Amino acid sequence: MANERSDSNLITREYFDSLLLEMRHIDSVIPDTEIDLFGEKFSMPIATAALSHLGNTAPDGMAKMAQGAYEAGALCFSGMGTAEEIRSMCATGAKVIKIVKPHADNATVLAKIREAEETGAFGVGMDIDHAFSADGTYDNVMGLPMKSKSLAELRSFIESTNLPFIIKGVLSISDAEKCLELGADGIIVSHHHGIMRSAVPPLMVLPKIKALVGDRMKIFVDCCVESGMDAFKALALGADAVCTGRAIMPPLKENGAEGVRDKLLTMNSELKGVMERTGFAKLSDIDNSVIYHRNF
């Protein structure tokens, strides 16, 4: 029971479900969910998460995820993978942001950034929360050594590319402030599916991060985003957009790109349904005035 109480995924799910909404029907209209992200228009503020190794879920799973995102009009993030895999994802027409691991060797990081540029990626970034293991050492991901990065190192990565640069794994005001200082184009507020036990839910720290960041960089939220209702709650608390990962994996396995597309479209329809019942006509109108915390 103690372990369950400290499971960050369960805590995050419980926090999502603890948030309640008031309804506002008078003067409400059918809403618009179009969003501009880094100079590109998308149909929804829901992106695929930076997943990896989806060939284990479906043949050519990464390309099919990208195809589904493209057909839904959504942004697509990608995690670990080969140059050929990223090229196949970009070939679908999807706008793909490649998230690079914090490899111990900075030359490897820079090579991965160049690889993303050369294969047609829309953006690039770094997964900073995979630097450490749980036993007081640096992490090792599939035999690849990782290492934490300093401000100077991160700045060198950002300055090495003209692509939008997104930092993933931000879960504090401290790191958000440093990302601003670095000139990052965006952050993903996330605990990487419970990489640390008892991690604060992204939505709990999100309002403080938004108060600091304002509109100076894009804020994405990842972890346990499973529905349009979840997306709305994140947007209401300060996110510009959300990422969904585990929710698209069963549809990907069952129906490939079509399954991913349909899941994203369903989530966006759910988001529109919440917006129209809370009185928000467009994404920029959404605020936290409709949010209540269940404490009964």
pLDDT (tens digit per residue) in 106-140: 999 999 999 999 999 999 999 999 999 999 999 99
Tell me how far apart the alpha carbons of residues 109 and 101 are, in angstroms, rounded to a whole number: 7
User: Does the structure show a pLDDT above 70 at 250?
Assistant: yes
pLDDT digits (tens, 9 = 90+) for 6-21: 899 999 999 999 999 9
Tell me how far apart the alpha carbons of residues 211 and 202 are, in angstroms, rounded to a whole number: 14
Q: What is the SS3 assignment for the chain?
A: CHHHHCCHHHHHHHHHHHEEECCCCCCCCCCECCEEECCEEECCCEEEEEECCHHHCCCCHHHHHHHHHHHHCCCEEECCCCHHHHHHHHHCCCCEEEEECCECCHHHHHHHHHHHHHCCCCEEEEEHHHCECCCCCECEECCEEECCCCHHHHHHHHHCCCCCEEEEEECCHHHHHHHHHHCCCEEEECCCCCCCCCCCCHHHHHHHHHHHHCCCCEEEECCCCCCHHHHHHHHHCCCCEEEECHHHHHHHHHHHHHHHHHHHHHHHHHHHHHHHHHCCCEHHHCCHHHEEECCC
Please tell me the pTM assigned to this model: 0.97
User: Does the structure show a pLDDT above 70 at 149?
Assistant: yes
Tell me how far apart the alpha carbons of residues 128 and 147 are, in angstroms, rounded to a whole number: 9
192 noted as active-site residue: yes
Whole-number pLDDT of residue 273: 98
Whole-number pLDDT of residue 3: 66
Tell me how far apart the alpha carbons of residues 79 and 48 are, in angstroms, rounded to a whole number: 11
User: Does the structure show a pLDDT above 80 at 171?
Assistant: yes
User: Does the structure show a pLDDT above 80 at 2?
Assistant: no
Whole-number pLDDT of residue 61: 98
Which residue among the candidates 103, 130, 191, 192 is catalytic per the annotation?
A: 192
Question: How distant, in Å, are the alpha carbons of 28, 129, 250 from that of 247?
Answer: 29, 22, 7
For 252, left (φ over 0), alpha (ψ -120 to 50), or beta? alpha
User: Does the structure show a pLDDT above 50 at 144?
Assistant: yes
Domains and CATH numbers, the chain: 8-20+31-293 (3.20.20.70)
pLDDT digits (tens, 9 = 90+) for 232-243: 999 999 999 999
